[in-house]
């Protein structure tokens, strides 16, 4: 398969310092603000907006099962910010894994404080370089959903990591199981790069910025190791991330029997669902807007949110 060969060569041609430690150190060092302090974050509306998008995604794709427990594996679970969303989706069991030990401890604490209606286990582990069977108990390796929220872009550092992650996901899902998540939108990145003068490698506004170390080809070939530094006020400070060229992601996922069901830019989800019966009221409840439709996300925050898309795949095959 020619495409696979290209990918393998790409990984070899771009030997890079392992950034795993940079990512782990960054997330380990970030304190958990707690709900009260979080309310004073300068990007609180953006955080609420992203949380609403994740809730929409989770509720759209969580299957209804009555005859058995509904189980979720959250890879790159961070500090457990999605625990409430999964509770609302009515799941019965949850396992969270993250490379940053401190985040895992905070997720455990948040689980104890929230007391959701499902059982949960948490593990510290690297889901992009190791097999999850190294840390998941043998009787707990099958799930209905694997969630990858804002973390897959770290795996696109190399073909090896991206494949290991997708292999982990695929192994944990039976036929009909769902992989869902959120990632930067490569179409937006490509569009922004095309609009930039040839000598420039960065863009952004007061709250976020994207800075490439070198200008990539707009076709994103080879599709791995296309590094940029992402800055988001009060959240991510200069951690290396990697473009996830969506078509390459879809093609590799297919080799692990994961077939694309749905993908949508955040802004399109917002426009389609803001007045919908199912999710319009949820925007108010999650304080993305108030009852007058005010206190919405401001244009700078919306531009930062436009950087992302959400996706859902279904496991096919036997
Ligand atoms: N999913 C959470 C959310 O949506 O709030 C956290 C997202 S945070 C932007 C990215 C997370 O991916 C961090 O918690 C980071 O530690 C985790 N991560 C990065 N590389 C990882 C790896 N190799 N294995 C497991 N987790 C990883």
User: pLDDT of 29-86, one tens digit each?
Assistant: 766 656 555 566 878 999 999 999 999 999 999 998 888 999 999 999 999 999 999 9
Output the DSSP codes for 195-233: HS-TT--EEE-SSEEEEESSPPPTT--S-S--EEEEEET
17 has a pLDDT exceeding 60: no
Residues near ligand 1 (Cβ within 6 A) = 20, 23, 27, 76-78, 81, 97-100, 103, 126-128, 149-151, 154
What is the pTM for the complete model shown?
A: 0.89
Residue 29 CA to residue 230 CA, distance in Å, equals 17
9 has a pLDDT exceeding 80: no
- Distance from the alpha carbon of residue 27 to the mean position of ligand 1, in angstroms: 8
10 has a pLDDT exceeding 60: no
pLDDT at position 33 is 58
Ligand 1 pocket: which of 154, 163, 244 to mutate (most atoms <8 Å of CB)?
154
Which CA distances in Å does 262 have to 3, 64, 179, 181, 310?
A: 23, 18, 11, 11, 8
25 has a pLDDT exceeding 90: no
Work out the number of other CB atoms within 10 angstroms of the CB of residue 239: 17
Strand order across the 227-232 sheet:
202-204, 208-212, 227-232, 236-242
Stretch 254-273: mean pLDDT, rounded?
A: 97
What is the three-class DSSP state of 43? coil
C-alpha triplet 204, 205, 206: angle, nearest 5°: 135
Beta bridge partners of 259: 314
Ligand 1 pocket: which of 99, 128, 169, 304 to mutate (most atoms <8 Å of CB)?
99
Q: What's the complex ipTM?
A: 0.99
- Distance from the alpha carbon of residue 151 to the mean position of ligand 1, in angstroms: 5
């Amino acid at each position: 398969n020619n495409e696979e060969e290209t990918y393998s060569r790409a990984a070899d041609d771009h030997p890079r310092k392992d950034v795993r430690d940079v990512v782990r150190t960054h997330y380990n060092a970030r304190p958990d603000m707690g709900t009260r302090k979080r309310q004073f974050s300068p990007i609180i509306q953006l955080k609420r907006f992203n949380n609403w998008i994740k809730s929409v995604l989770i509720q759209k794709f969580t299957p209804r099962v009555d005859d058995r427990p509904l189980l979720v594996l959250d890879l790159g679970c961070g500090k457990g910010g999605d625990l409430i969303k999964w509770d609302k989706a009515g799941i019965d069991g949850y396992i969270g894994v993250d490379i940053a030990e401190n985040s895992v401890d905070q997720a455990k604490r948040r689980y104890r404080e929230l007391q959701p209606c499902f059982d949960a286990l948490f593990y510290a582990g690297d889901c992009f370089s190791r097999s999850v069977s190294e840390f998941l108990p043998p009787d707990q390796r099958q799930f209905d959903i694997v969630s990858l929220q804002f973390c897959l872009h770290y795996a696109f550092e190399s073909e090896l990591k991206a494949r290991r992650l997708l292999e982990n996901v695929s192994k944990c899902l039976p036929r009909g199981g769902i992989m869902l998540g959120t990632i930067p939108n490569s179409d937006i990145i490509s569009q922004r790069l095309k609009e930039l003068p040839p000598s420039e490698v960065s863009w952004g506004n007061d709250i976020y910025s994207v800075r490439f170390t070198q200008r990539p080809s707009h076709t994103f070939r080879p599709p791995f190791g296309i590094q940029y530094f992402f800055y988001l006020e009060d959240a991510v400070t200069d951690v290396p991330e990697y473009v996830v060229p969506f078509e390459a992601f879809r093609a590799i996922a297919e080799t692990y029997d994961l077939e694309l069901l749905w993908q949508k830019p955040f802004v399109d989800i917002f426009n389609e669902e803001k007045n919908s019966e199912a999710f319009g009221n949820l925007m108010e409840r999650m304080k993305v807007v108030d009852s007058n439709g005010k206190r919405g996300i401001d244009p700078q925050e919306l531009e930062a949110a436009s950087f992302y898309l959400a996706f859902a795949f279904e496991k096919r095959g036997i």
